[in-house]
Amino acid sequence: MKQATLNRIVRMEFLPEHVIDFENLFAQVKEQIRHFPGCLSLQVWTDPESPNVYFTFSRWESPSDLEAYRHSELFKETWAQTKRWFCAKPQAFSALDRYVID
C-alpha cells in the first residue's frame, strides 16, 4: 500500500505594511521550496476578507520529507525573514491523505 501524502497548511497574518515584503520574498524562494526533495506541490492562498492573511498549502511525499525541509537552511533563512513581519502567531496544520476524490 502506498504511503499517504502529508498535507501542510500554514496560516500567516502579516502587518499590512509588510505584505509586499512577503510577496517579494516568496517570489524569490517559491521554486526552491517547490523543488525541495519530497515536495509534491506548493500553493499560496489569501483570505478574501483579510488581504494580509496568507496560507501556504504544500503536499509532501512523507512526514520525513517535510521535516527535512524544516531543518534545511532554505527554511531557516526564509522563516527568519518572514516571522519578523507577522502581527499574529502563525498556525500550522498537518494531515495525511485519507481519501482523495478528484
- Could you report the per-residue pLDDT of 46-100, keeping only the tens digit for each? 999 999 999 999 999 999 999 999 999 999 999 999 999 999 999 999 999 887 7
- Please state the φ and ψ torsions of residue 76, each to the nearest 5 degrees: -60, -45
Residue 84 φ/ψ, nearest 5 degrees: -70, -20
* 14 DSSP 8-state letter: B
CB–CB of 98/25 below 8 Å? no
CA distance 99 to 83: 33
Domains of the chain: 6-96 (3.30.70.100)
- In this prediction the pTM is 0.91
Give yes or no for residue 22 having a pLDDT over 80.
yes
Of residues 42 and 2, the one with the higher pLDDT is: 42
Residues listed for the chain? 102
